[in-house]
Chain A
Amino acid sequence: MATTTAPTVTDLSSTTRDGLGSSPRRPDGTLKVTGEFAYSSDMWMEDMLWGMTLRSPHPHARILGIDITEALKVPGVETVLTHEDVPGAKRYGLEYKDQPVLAFGKVRYKGEPVALVAADHPETARRALERIKVDYEVLPPVSDSRRAALDPEYPLVHEEGTLKIHEEYHQSGNRVRYQPIRTGGFRDVAGEKEREREVLDALRARADAVVETEYEVGMQDQAFLGPESGLAVPEEDGGVHLYVATQWLHSDLWQIVPCLGLPEDKVRMTMAGVGGAFGGREDLSMQIHGAMLALRTGKPVKIVYNREESFYGHVHRHPAKMRFEHGAKADGTLLYATLEIIVDGGAYASATPAVVGVASSLGIGPYEVPHVLVDAYGVYTTNPPCGAMRGFGAVQACFGYESQMDKLAEKLGMHPVDLRIKNAMSQGSRIITGQELHSPLPMADMLQRARDLPMPVDRSELPDPSDLRTLPGGVAGTTHGEGVVRGVGYGVGLKNLCFSEGFDDYSTARVRLEIVAGEPNVLVHTAAAEVGQGLVTVKGQIARTELGVENVAINPSDTRVGSAGSSSASRQSYMTGGAVKMACEAVRASVFAIARERGVVPADRDDADLSLAGGKLVSAADGVLTSLADLLGESASGGTVVEETREHHHRPTEMIDPVLGQGSSHTQFGMCVHRAVVDVDVELGLVKVVALDAVQDVGKVLHPQQLAGQIQGASTQGLGLALMEEIQVKDSEIRNPSFTDYLIPTILDTPPMRIEVLEHPDPHAPYGLRGAGEPPTLSSTPAIVAAVRDATGRALTHAPVRPEDIVGIDL
């Protein structure tokens, strides 16, 4: 990985081994390679029961009755529960409390939970599920997201009316949120359809090139490998202890508690090992169900979804239908853009309002466009519920605006990189919400770097060009090189990092310093979810760098410390990393105060003269003053233990207004640029990605190896969305709920991925860092699709690209 150094806010050079900027081994690595790391599906107790969920076979139906009599008779069954057994609130949800714990009245998607069973064996539970009789009156699916957004006559998914949480979201009918944005000439005529059309016509007349296209992005699955699972253990005080895999323990807790009708201190949550998340664990799955079964039976209850159930058990990436129009002058200068973006939220809102907020505010991407009109809608349908997935909202929009840039460049006879550079934003630019980009955005430089990266060798220069393993279709032998055309494409994406729109997603860290066996030891305690990204490593690096202590242990994440917020929105290094940094600074200040109290520090030395390094208190002027061991004393023998807890808040953000869509809604921005090189079998529609190279600005590199892992992993998920990943939904039913039929990239599908990392610090962020996990997911997809367009000359308006799109067959 090449790294380009820019001036930094904080000098991270540290004498402490395994501090920031180095790549120490991850502390959970050993357990993960010996098989001993306890994931949520590995939880086990001697007398535990197995819980299982009865799910609706219909996307849309009225429930006329549920009869559990026969199920209860199955030997080994301990209990069967329905909505009548939900002890507290009947609904929960991330943003709107619109999702039933167990369905009542109606089911709104195929796979919606209707009843629960606890039994002595999974097979017993499965047989009991078969014996629950549910009397359904089947209703027609409400599956067309465009009609849900725009047709007031379309049947309602929630007949009782939309929950009015935010009046400014324009909630009505099947609309979960409608967000308009109007800038330039559209600003003064906002909402007046006729006058908006006149402005648009005038802009069209001024443009030398206009491109207008409809795009679709398919429903992508997070496809984390560890299925939804966990163990609920009843406790003697009438409460319950949940061992689950989640992205945000406290958000789970705050949703679970009202439904169980228990006070918050009766529900304890401990993070079990998380087998990947990518947004799919922001919503609850088995948490309340497991707790209900455990509380009812008085026994521990384990629930593990299988892969098919997992496809029904979590939300997916919103599929999008988008109409983009761009106009430009002959020299490539963008003049105007109009966007209609409709994202399908499915049966329940989940993160849909936030997805609309991102898709609209970042709808035109990192380009200077003087006149913009955006209409973005998130809607209810009876399709599978959609919510958070890596890069949400921004991924869908990015496929649209980047495809438009390529189309415009082609129309104007420009190189696609030149057109992008011509219109590139930079520090000080304002996005369409009026928000200023307050920190460096070296977009033009990044594009140039991507263009200058070395190209993979031409097919003819390969040692053996007929080696099937280098060809689309691989060893299936679908081609020996005939019909194979190479293409190159570029993509750029702009992503908001941390939560937006007024949300205070703070994080809490507790750091403890004490002397054990003569050595200083640090314990870092947060509730943050380690989902694989490596936060657990970074927390330790921060403590080592800040406190100059090598022995750092990470306390398991639980709810005995304050909220850490979610492991999403690329925010944990920023938010929880920042909280750990603050708590370490407080510990350090306490150590300095103790040292002064005990007369170790010369009176004329202020704190700026002091530091902690190598387990010692050091004065810049006088050298080593004392060891921490001597200063604090052995904790087991009454020595001093220094412990500090701090909350880290990012700068406040604001809602964008409901009429013009103006406001500084985002905390931080991240950018990645991709260049993709593909070989396409233009006769069979098969694609081999030859190279997928990235240039990303991360502000500051904390752990070079884990950073590369984030960028390459995100790029590969973007590759999946470009070429193979789509949950096929017909009449609101998923047709491919398995890894046999829903394909994610294998090692054969994934090319070498070169990375160039830039470090232009964000002065507002801890260490100047920028969240890094999401931006590559945006740019990878359009870069690959652009490369396939370059090879084939096809328009390719649907992601993922399907073989029939490449060969031009209308199926």
Chain B
Amino acid sequence: MRVNVNVNGEDMTAENVWPGESLLYVLRERLGLPGSKNACEQGECGSCTVYFDGVTACSCMIAAGQAEGRAVRTVEGLAEEPGKGSDRTLGTVQDAFVEAGAVQCGFCTPGLLVQTDDLLERTVGAGKGAPDDAEIREALAGNLCRCTGYEKILDAVRLAAGRRAESGAAHE
């Protein structure tokens, strides 16, 4: 079958999709977007988290056909000013993860970035201030990381929240 889906603002079409394929498989193997990761493919680890019509979801749990006509935003679409090649500007969350040492092997990172971006949208972005540690832990509870022990991830989220709040204040 054919699947039409808007990914990171671009209308894309995947041909010859077997109906049993997941959105994750279509993104990775048919649309050239392997950033979303295939760690468990059973909805337990959060590594494949994407925005699906604006709501975060495990793309491994979405059948390809369910994505027809929907809007998907992946880790590849998180950079705030994408498309500048080696000079690309990282998004606030992406930059904070590297700076805080929250990235080791990096396999969980794409999912955590999307989930963190969503958390900050719902908190800082909605004028509710930076999330406290307990809120961060609840928001990221569905994203497994095997390398870091999560301490540096907490650092990264706090850093990104602070910077997003600053830049929000600067815009006002």
Of the stretches B64-72, B107-115, B120-128, B164-172, the one at the interface is B107-115
Taking a contact as CB atoms under 8 Å apart, the answer to whether B149 and A32 are in contact is no
Contact between A532 and B105, CB atoms less than 8 A apart: yes
Q: Quick check: is B59 within 8 A (CB to CB) of the other chain?
A: no
Instruction: Assess whether A713 is in contact with B147, with CB atoms less than 8 Å apart.
Output: yes
A23 near B: Cβ within 8 Å? yes
State whether A35 and B75 are in contact (beta carbons under 8 Å apart), knowing that A307-B39, A740-B42 are contacts in the complex: yes
Contacts of B37 in A (CB 8 A): 39, 41, 225-226, 275
Query: Which of A29, A42, A277, A531 gathers the greatest number of chain B CB atoms within 10 Å?
Result: A29
Whether the Cβ atoms of B140 and A747 lie closer than 8 Å is yes
Whether A753 contacts B146 by the Cβ 8 Å rule is: no
A747 and chain B: residue at smallest CB distance? B150
Q: A751 vs B79: C-alpha distance in the bound complex, in angstroms?
A: 31
Q: Which of A256-304 contact B (CB under 8 A)?
A: 273-278, 304
Compute how far the CA of A304 lies from the CA of B39 in the bound complex, rounded to whole angstroms. Answer: 10
- Say whether B76 contacts A708, CB under 8 Å: no
Q: Does A180 contact B (CB under 8 A)?
A: no
Asked if B105 and A712 sit within 8 Å, CB to CB, the answer is: no
Contact of A28 among B40, B106, B147 (CB under 8 A): B106
B56 within 8 Å of A by Cβ?
no
B151 near A226 (CB under 8 angstroms)? no
Task: List A residues 23-48 near B (Cβ within 8 Å).
Answer: 23, 25-26, 28-30, 32-39, 41-42, 44
A35 in contact with B74 (CB, 8 Å):
yes
Q: Is the CB of A748 within 8 A of B34?
A: no
Chain A residue nearest to B142 (CB atoms) is A746
Interface contact B40-A307, CB-CB below 8 Å: yes
A467 close to B (CB within 8 Å): yes
Closest Cβ of chain B: how far from A13's Cβ, in Å?
22
Q: B106 contacts which chain A residues (CB < 8 A)?
A: 28-29, 32-33, 37, 273, 275, 532
Cβ proximity bits A697-711 to B, threshold 8 Å, 1 near / 0 not: 000000001101100
List of B residues within 8 angstroms of A738 by Cβ: 40, 42, 44
Provide the residues of chain A in CB contact with B152, threshold 8 Å: 705, 708-709, 712
Per a CB cutoff under 8 Å, which of A35, A715, A752 touches B35? A35
In chain A, residues 46-104, which have Cβ atoms closer than 8 Å to a Cβ of chain B? none
Interface of A is mostly: loop
A748 touches B137 (CB 8 A): yes
Tell me which residues across on chain B come within 8 A of A717, comparing CB atoms.
Answer: 146
A533 CA / B42 CA spacing, docked (Å): 27
Question: What residues on B are CB-neighbors of A273 within 8 Å?
Answer: 106
Query: Is B61 close to A, CB under 8 A?
Result: no
Q: Point out the residues of chain B lying under 8 angstroms from A713, CB to CB.
A: 104, 146-149
A224 B146 Cβ-Cβ under 8 A: yes
The distance in angstroms between the C-alpha atoms of A717 and B104, with both chains bound, is: 15
Chain B residues near A276: list those with CB within 8 A: 104-105, 107, 146-147
Query: Interface size on B (CB < 8 Å)?
Result: 60
Q: Name B16's closest neighbour in chain A (CB-CB).
A: A121
B14 within 8 A of A: no
Beta-carbon contacts under 8 Å, B87-126 to A: 88, 90, 94-95, 97-101, 103-110, 113
- Number of chain A interface residues as a range: 35 or more
- A467 near B134 with CB under 8 A, answer yes
Whether, in the assembled complex, A593 has its beta carbon less than 8 Å from a beta carbon of chain B, the answer is no
B141 within 8 A of A: yes
Interface residues of B in 1-52 (CB under 8 A from A): 18, 20, 28-29, 32-42, 44-45, 47
User: Least Cβ distance of B20 to chain A in Å?
Assistant: 6
Are B35 and A750 in contact, with the CB atoms below 8 A?
A: no
**Contact call A33/B40, Cβ cutoff below 8 A:** no
| Contact code string A746-778 (vs B, CB < 8 Å = 1, else 0) | 111010110000000000000000000000000
A716 to chain B, nearest CB (A): 4
Q: B153 within 8 Å of A by Cβ?
A: yes
Among A33, A39, A276, chain B packs the most CB atoms within 10 A around the CB of A33
**Chain B residues within an 8 Å CB radius of A37:** 106
**Cβ-defined contact, B76 with A34, below 8 A:** yes
Q: Does A739 make an interface contact (CB < 8 A)?
A: yes
Q: Which of A30, A123, A712, A716 touches B98 (beta carbons < 8 Å)? A: A30
Q: Are A275 and B39 in contact (CB under 8 A)?
A: yes
B143–A747 touching, CB < 8 Å: yes
Residues 222-252 (chain A) with a chain B CB within 8 angstroms: 222-227
A374 contacts chain B at the CB level, 8 A cutoff: no
Asked if residues A469 and B138 are in contact (CB atoms below 8 Å), the reply is yes
Main secondary structure of the interface of B (DSSP, over half): loop
Please report the C-alpha to C-alpha distance between residue A26 and residue B102 in the assembled complex, in whole angstroms.
10
Q: A33-B98, A35-B34, A716-B150 are in contact. Are A226 and B107 (CB under 8 A)?
A: yes
Is the CB–CB distance between A275 and B90 below 8 Å?
A: no
Docked-complex contact A26 and B147, CB < 8 angstroms: no
A33 near B41 (CB under 8 angstroms)?
no
Contacting residues, chain A, for B62 (C-beta < 8 A): none
CB distance from A216 to the nearest CB of B (A): 24
Please name the residue on chain A nearest to B156 by beta carbon: A33
Contact of A225 among B36, B108, B142 (CB under 8 A): B108
Return A475 CB to nearest CB of chain B, in Å.
7
What chain A residues lie within 8 Å of B100 (beta carbons)?
705
Q: Please, what's the 1-or-0 string for A1-38, where 1 marks a CB less than 8 Å from any CB in chain B?
A: 00000000000000000000001011011101111111
Contact in complex: B141, A225 (CB < 8 Å): no
CB-CB < 8 A to B20: which residues of A? 123
Indicate if A744 sits at the interface (CB-CB under 8 A): yes
Q: Does A306 sit at the interface, judged by CB under 8 A?
A: yes
Known: A276-B146, A708-B151, A712-B151. A740 touches B44 (CB 8 A): yes
Contacts of B146 in A (CB 8 A): 222-225, 276, 278, 713, 717, 744
- Report whether B34 and A33 are in contact in the complex, using a CB–CB cutoff of 8 Å: no
The answer to whether A34 and B144 have CB atoms under 8 Å apart is no
> CA A651 – CA B101 in complex, angstroms?
33
Contact B138 A748 (CB under 8 A): yes
CA distance A32 to B28 in the complex (A): 15
Whole-angstrom distance between the Cβ of B87 and the nearest chain A Cβ: 11
Task: Please indicate the chain A residues that have their CB under 8 angstroms from the CB of B153 in the complex.
Answer: 747
Q: Which of B33, B44, B108 contacts A35 (CB 8 A)?
A: B33
Find the B residue at minimum CB distance from A122: B25
User: What residues on A are CB-neighbors of B47 within 8 Å?
Assistant: 225
Complex Cα gap A274–B147 (Å) = 12
On chain B, the residues within 8 Å of A39 by CB distance are 34, 37, 107
Bound complex: CA of A501 vs CA of B45, how far in Å? 39
Q: A30-B98, A224-B146, A750-B149 are in contact. Are A739 and B42 (CB under 8 A)?
A: yes
Interface presence of A345 (CB below 8 A): no
Contact of B104 among A36, A42, A709, A744 (CB under 8 A): A709
Contacts of B103 in A (CB 8 A): 26, 29, 32-33
Smallest Cβ-Cβ distance to B105: which chain A residue: A532
In the bound complex, residues from chain A placing their C-beta under 8 Å from that of B144 are: 225, 739, 744, 746
Task: Give the CA-CA distance A64 to B111 in the complex, in Å.
Answer: 46
Chain B: minimal CB distance from A424 (Å): 27
In this complex, what residue of B is CB-closest to A38? B34
Q: In the assembly, what is the distance between CA of A28 and CA of B105, in Å?
A: 10
Q: Is the CB of A25 within 8 A of B98?
A: yes
* A227 in contact with B76 given A33-B109, A123-B20, A275-B105 (CB within 8 Å): no
Q: Are A25 and B99 in contact (CB under 8 A)?
A: yes
What chain A residues lie within 8 Å of B78 (beta carbons)? 34
Is the CB–CB distance between B98 and A224 below 8 Å? Answer: no
Tell yes or no: A534 within 8 A of B by CB: yes
A469-B107 contact given A44-B34, A307-B41, CB 8 Å threshold: no
Are A532 and B147 in touch, CB under 8 angstroms? yes
Query: Which B positions have Cβ atoms within 8 angstroms of A?
Result: 18, 20, 28-29, 32-42, 44-45, 47, 74-76, 78-79, 88, 90, 94-95, 97-101, 103-110, 113, 134, 136-138, 140-154
What are 19 A-to-B residue pairs whose CB atoms are below 8 Å?
Answer: A23-B101, A26-B103, A29-B97, A33-B90, A34-B94, A35-B76, A36-B35, A224-B146, A225-B144, A307-B40, A705-B101, A708-B101, A709-B104, A709-B152, A712-B151, A712-B152, A717-B146, A739-B42, A747-B141
Known: A225-B107, A307-B40, A712-B148. 5 other contacts (CB 8 A): A29-B97, A30-B90, A225-B45, A275-B107, A739-B42
